[in-house]
Amino acid sequence: MTTAEQPVLSRNYYAFLFSLLGLVAGIGLFVPLLDNDAAHHANIALRMYLTGDYVNLMDGGTDYLDKPHLHFWLSALSYHVFGISSFAYKLPSFLFSILGVYSVYRTGTLLYSADTGKLAALIMASSVSFLLANSDVRMDAIITATIAFSFWQLTALIKTNRFKHIPLAALGLALGFSTKGMIAVVIPGFAGLLLLLQLKGARGLLQYHWLILAVFFAVFISPVLYCYYQQFNLHQEKIIRGKDHIDGVRFILLQQNLERFSGGMGNTLQHDYLFFFHSFLWSFAPWCLLAFAAIYQRFRDFKNRLTEWASVIVFLLVAAIVTFSGFKLPHYLNIGFPFAALFTAAYLMANAGHETWTKRVYLLQRIITLLLLSGMVVVNFWSFQVNSYLIMGGLILLLSSYLHFYKSSLLSRLAKSVGLSVAAIVISFFLINSNFYPQLLKYQGGNQLAAAIKGKTDPAHIYFWKNSNSASFDFYTGTLRKEYKPQELKPGEKNWLVCYPKDLAEIQQAGLRLKDTVRMKDYEISRLSFRFLDPAERDAICSEIVIAEIAE
């Protein structure tokens, strides 16, 4: 039987697998930003960097209410250190992800054992959506990390009563709040409450340190509250989504997450009540089915109350919130990953000595990883064919690690199951970050156009036609979007106009003459279709983005 003295994997294997995950995630830091939330958020931080205004959140010249400041502050600070680049934007999220993985390890150690903690950290670090959050960077990497860190500190506080964990827990909760609002406080806070009740009962609620924690939390979130007060409470004339008299402090404390849950931010997939289930299947791959099995066993053995229940109950709470939310997106599931990793690792460790069970797990993980790798073959050798000897060489080396875990006679079946699962994810994200994304982003016109005109135009004199925009173009030219207004142009200056084919007729009617036109293929690559993935069909469904000099 696997015990604390006989871990699933040796220390060297853990170091090897974490190093590979760090390598492929590191490659993703240099992948250009996608023209959706990533480039959009990067431009909010870009405005801070260019103007020095770190109080007001502005999105293309309008006030931005939806999310608080931390992600933008960190990105803007990174621009000051590293310049305006994909790497600078993504680095803070990557560093927070490392903190999140370490936090899961420490939490697993406190609740179970050091070996369970290591396995839980490896599981979270190698899940599909966790790695995606470090390639296509929104706020998910930071909020997931702060939730993991907060729960670690709350767990340590509950088990040890050491004072140092009070300000650290408050800081974790405040960082989460400052990233995406109260959801990052409710989730780890509720987990801590459940753990407290299980270990100490209701008397644990009467301890004085919860009041001290609340005071620290209030102090730590005060910069964000001050900024919302300055931007909205002091300017009741501002109109946001058709409403004036916005109470910014009340919004970020109470209304923000409730609006998303009720559908006030839109009704994306509102009635898809299986959304959590089918999204979790791919987002927590290759561990998803083991996570469901772990939940099943935990409830089957309900009488065994010695095992912590906080992780399972909070994970189910996240599932319920996402299921019944009026506005849902796949990356919303990431906040449940630290908890899923904990109870999945505990399940694997608890059953490691059962020979029949380990045979089934090994078969299951072989099937899942082979399906995953088959998908990578289709995408990277048919849709976007690998055309680099360096990538092929790296792929061959990484495949050898998968084959090692697949064939090794020196490792237990459970060790092989874990090893080949992580190796398959490493191979997949090596191909995604080194081949798929770079080739895919050739069809995102904004960043391609910015690269084509670099050094040939003055970004200060580039304008967009009305109702046209490209966040990636703005970011990679290092400028804020300027809409074309003829009265602002000075005679004798060279000016350029960015537009789309749909705008050309209207531009002609306005009497504008364009010359020296540069065109780039353009497709909304965040919404892939089978026709786009088919190389024979791809060009036919692409549009264009155009830049041209405005003739005198």
Cα–Cα dist 35/14, whole Å: 36
pLDDT at 541 over 50: yes
Residue 226: both structure tokens together: 């001050």
pLDDT at 522 over 60: yes
pLDDT tens digit string along 441-477? 999 999 999 999 999 999 999 999 998 999 999 999 9
Q: What is the pLDDT of residue 5?
A: 45
pLDDT tens digit string along 237-265? 888 877 888 888 999 998 877 776 665 55
What's the sign of the alpha-carbon dihedral 3, 4, 6, 11? positive
Cα–Cα dist 512/549, whole Å: 10
- Residue 49 banded pLDDT, cuts 50, 70, 90: very high
**Overall pTM > 0.85:** yes
Q: What is the pLDDT of residue 211?
A: 96
Q: What is the mean pLDDT of residues 178-185?
A: 95
Give the CA angle between residues 442, 278, 280 to the nearest 5°: 80
Q: Residues of the chain with pLDDT > 70: what percent?
A: 96
Cα–Cα dist 328/321, whole Å: 9
Backbone angles phi, psi at 485, to 5 degrees: -135, 110
What distance, in Å, lies between the first and last C-alpha atoms of the chain?
Answer: 81
Q: What is the pLDDT of residue 32?
A: 95
Q: Residues of the chain with pLDDT > 90: what percent?
A: 79
CB neighbours (10 Å) of residue 413? 17
Map residue 483 onto helix, strand or coil.
strand
- Residue 1 banded pLDDT, cuts 50, 70, 90: very low
Pairing mode, strands 462-464 and 58-59: unpaired
Cα–Cα dist 265/251, whole Å: 13
Q: What is the pLDDT of residue 3?
A: 40
pLDDT tens digit string along 77-127? 999 999 999 999 999 999 999 999 999 999 999 999 999 999 999 999 999
Pairing mode, strands 496-499 and 543-550: antiparallel
Backbone angles phi, psi at 243, to 5 degrees: -125, 140
The verdict on whether omega for the bond into residue 286 sits within 30 degrees of 0, i.e. cis, is: yes
Looking at 212-216, 325-329, 363-367, 473-477, which range is the least confident one? 325-329
pLDDT tens digit string along 492-501? 889 999 999 9
pLDDT tens digit string along 338-367? 999 999 999 999 999 899 999 999 999 999
